[in-house]
Structures are given as structure tokens and as C-alpha cells.
Amino acid sequence: MRQCGRTALPFVAVFLLAPFCLVHCLGSASPAWSQPAKSGARSTKKQQPAAAPAPQVRYGTDGLPGPVLEMREAILSAVRSGRIEDLRHAWEFNELKPDLGVPSVGDPVAYWKQVSGDGEGREILAALAEILDAGYVTLPLGPDLENNRVYVWPYFAEVPLGALTPPQEVELLRLVPPAAVKAMREAGKYTFWRIAIGADGTWHSFRREP
């Protein structure tokens, strides 16, 4: 009998301690849904940057700085003469020559005659007359928005074609035929001549958009 009593005690002790261990383990292991959410958790969804507003379209010459007016007038003087050779005078104003949209140009007059439909450069002069008579936009050229600006004609080169108003669509049709406008809409961009003049009078570019 003594031997049976000794062997029964450990078994009874384990039986009595089992509920206590079970309660202790369950109390310390809280389910995931019962744990409070971590504060300051970062969302994995990135915010899309806001689209830049379209530049303001301006007309006429009242808002143009003096140097821009002088360069514009030098270009239009060649237009009125009807001689593409006279455009060389405005070209020579720049120490850094305007970008014509091609890798290198030795003689700009020869190049303009080459790409002109009539072979004499008069189509180029007509394009200059049309785009400089259209509206323009002002774009920043550096961190100082008051002094570093570039003026771009026509504004279609910098404004989404899908956002044009009916009167603006008429203005575009004055520059290019309906078939060209349709092709531009399909391409999603303006693909005719554009010219850019800096606020200091620098003639930056005159090229046909690809």
C-alpha cells in the first residue's frame, strides 16, 4: 500500500497543475485580431502627383518684353521682305545659334530653302508669319520665374490638343489643314512649326515638331 501511495502523488500533482498551465498559456497568447492596431502605420498606396496646369495663352504683343519684341520684329521684317536671305540678320543676333531640329546646320538659309516646298524659302517665311500671329505661352527657363522665361509660338505646341475650345480649334485650322489636325489628334501632339524666344531676346529655336 505504501508503494502505491507514493506513485499516485506525482500523478495527482500533474493533474492539479494542468488547468493552471492551460489558463496561463491562453492568457499570454492573445489572438492577432485582439491586438490593437499599430499607430502610425504607413499606407502602401502612393499618391499620384497632381497634373501641372496648362500655361496661359496670350495674344498680341503688349505682354512681351522689349528684347522679345525686337527679335520678333527682326524675324517679321524678313517675312515682309519675302526674301529668306533676310532672315540671316536675325539668325546672326545669337552667339549660340537657334535649334533648327536637325543635328547640324552649316548655312541656315540653304537649309530653309531645302525644306521649303517652293524651294526658295517662302513657305518657311509664311509659316513664321502664321505662328507669330497666333497666341503664345510663357514657360519657365530657370528658377527665377521673373527673369528667366521663354516665349513659345504657337501655343498649340504646349497646350493639350484635346483641351482646345472651338475658337482655338479654328485657330489651329488656320495653321494646318483638317487632315493634319486629325493626324495630330491621333498622335496626341502638335507636329507643325514652332518658335521660341527667351525673355532676353535670345532666339532659342525654330523647328518643325516631329
Sheet containing 149-153, strands listed edge to edge, beginning at the edge strand earlier in sequence? 137-140, 149-153, 193-198, 203-208
108, three cell numbers: 541656315
The predicted structure's pLDDT at residue 130? 95
The predicted structure's pLDDT at residue 47? 60
> Are 177 and 191 contacting, i.e. CB atoms less than 8 angstroms apart?
no
* Secondary structure (H, E, C), 126-150: HHHHHHHHCCEEEEECCCCCCCCEE
Report how far Cα 14 is from the mean position of its chain's Cα atoms: 77
First to last CA, the chain: 108
Q: Specify the residue for cell string 512649326.
A: 193
The predicted structure's pLDDT at residue 147? 60
Of the candidates 132, 144, 147, the one whose C-alpha atom is nearest the C-alpha of residue 71 is 132
pTM, to two decimals: 0.73
> Are 206 and 72 contacting, i.e. CB atoms less than 8 angstroms apart?
no
The predicted structure's pLDDT at residue 59? 95
The predicted structure's pLDDT at residue 49? 54
The predicted structure's pLDDT at residue 28? 43
Alpha-carbon distance of 77 to 85, in angstroms, equals 11
The predicted structure's pLDDT at residue 148? 81
**What digits encode the pLDDT tens for the residues 24-65?**
434 444 444 344 444 444 544 556 555 566 789 999 999 899
**Domain spans of the chain, in order of start:** 66-208
> Are 57 and 172 contacting, i.e. CB atoms less than 8 angstroms apart?
no
- Collect the ranges in the chain with pLDDT lower than 70: 1-53, 142-147
Looking only at the bridges linking them, the beta strands covering 137-140 and 193-198 are: unpaired
The predicted structure's pLDDT at residue 133? 94
Instruction: Find all residues with CB under 8 Å of 58, minimum gap 6, and list them.
Output: 135, 136, 137, 138
The predicted structure's pLDDT at residue 52? 60
